[in-house]
Structure 1
Amino acid sequence: MKISQSELKQLQDKGLFRAQDAMPTLLPSASTIPAGALAYISREAVEAITKERSGDRALGGSKKLLNWEQEAAFIPFVEKTGQVTPYSDKGNPLLSGLNASFNQFNHYRFTTKYFVGDLESKQYTAANIDYVATMQRAATEAIAIELNRVAFEGFIDNSSNSYLCYGLLNNPALPNYEVADKTFAGATWEEVLGIFATAITKLTEATGNNINGDSKIRCVISASAYATLKSKFTQLGISLAESLEKAYPGLYFVSSSELDKANANANVMYLIGESEAGGIGDTTQLGYSEIALMGNVVTNDYGYSQSVSAGTIGAVVLKPSFIVRYSGI
């Protein structure tokens, strides 16, 4: 059975093809298959589309940093110290050493559950819908959506009304926003290139040239601002995105809708330098304990259920000086 244009429009009107922050609810939770529908139903099912999730890519990847039972992760930050004096056979050289601090990242655990009913399972199977697999995907997608949200926004503990963990957009370790003079849409192509040149210069100065125009730089950017970079051209007919990638060979873009109007209703971008300076290659990470911890299968008279859980410490910023962020782009 093919979907006609009019039927497709009806699906769109219900929001099936609109980006959504959370799992959509399009029908009453107790909805059943309409009478007569079991005569023939196509094997092709149109699933609701949720917003593309970019948190993992925005933070440069995810890493297991603690176990499920642990309440927090403690990550050491080490500073090397040392001084020299002129040499003398009878002199007493000054000592070199280190200073260490341990930053605490608190653990946010969350969970969801799916239930497989005997009757529903038979009905949906007769309707050519893979009922069990779809229920499992619904649970794991709910987990993925929350992990992505925390990557950008963190999590506020309701009991204390304070952040249990932070996201990329509100991490207190980050420097203040630089403010662009003009949005990319309202600026000339020369002005846009100038914003990037200034930003990379700031990175070079802040990192003591560990990050410069030749370094690998992750540009996490508002999706609408990135669209402007792709559609605005230089006098040679080259898009700004391509021009920037040629000027800075290590620069690459991560387009993110979470950065649209993310700071006081203004679009933002983050330039995140990547190098092995400091003894670690990662500047930021999405820290987690479990991605999809499956609970016990619980059976009852008419079906079974299973929980799916995850844990995260949010956005871990390891090298704040390797990040420059701009608002108003």
Structure 2
Amino acid sequence: MAFFLETLFGGLMAGMLYSLVALGFVLIFKASGVFNFAQGAMVLFAALAMARFSEWIPQWLGIESLLLANLIAFALAGLCMFAVAWLVERLVLRHLVNQEGATLLMATLGITYFLEGVGQTLFGNSIYQINIGMPKDPVFILDGVFQGGILINKEDLYAALIAAVLVIALSIFFQKTGTGRALRAVADDHQAAQSIGIPLNRIWVIVWCVAGVVALVAGMIWGSKLGVQFSLATVALRALPVIILGGLTSVPGAIIGGLIIGVGEKLSEVYLGPLIGGGIEIWFAYVLALVFLLFRPQGLFGEKIIDRV
């Protein structure tokens, strides 16, 4: 039982990180009705900015405190993501209002390559480390209940807690604020939202700023765990099964989908992997997503769209 719980907790923590990346997709889709292929590039760009600023700030300002340097680096990286959001709206989205979804989709592909290229130009293309002070030593819990206790990685635990707080805050933002309701209205119908006075351009800037902050937090956590390198952009691919399971329009769905994927990957690798030769963790999520696409394409919490003619 202790080993099962240890695997379960590991899956839940990984699932929270998947949910964090998936939230970026959900945020953009809810505001523009388009799947944002640039989310992985945004995570990479934000992680590069955070890593390089945290390296440069002590040299520029002579700061010795790791916490203060990271706070300043986080603020500067956040400003970079706000600048990206403003440029995306000003140079791309503003000119594509009321265009077909495929047109907006192709625009996000262009943004992807732009961010990857600019990130490499501004911050370099080496492998960088982000040290945000999270403890990396494992800890044993419930040792009074199970012999030897349950091994938990402190870094994973802190990362999961950060992701959980951000997810809860975003859920409240969408459900309880006027801006959140305006975002949902824009996603449903651009022209109808404009007709009742919702400023479409401002809404898009806001949602891309929020998605940029989500990408920054995700990039900071994944960069701390894995190092910042250009393969980090592919972390968005790990979130695709999450949004298929949870639904592309649902913030709670991104959370539940991430937890299901995280736990399913860990348990299947541990208990089914030895029976079929291992490697099941790599493709388990995509097979599960394929099953959902066949039988429930809108996901667990997504909205079923019915067109009447």
TM-score (norm 1): 0.23
Larger radius of gyration: 1
Structure whose residues are more often strand by fraction: 1
Structure whose residues are more often helix by fraction: 2
TM-score (norm 2): 0.24
Q: Which has the higher contact order (CA 8 A, sep 6+)?
A: 2
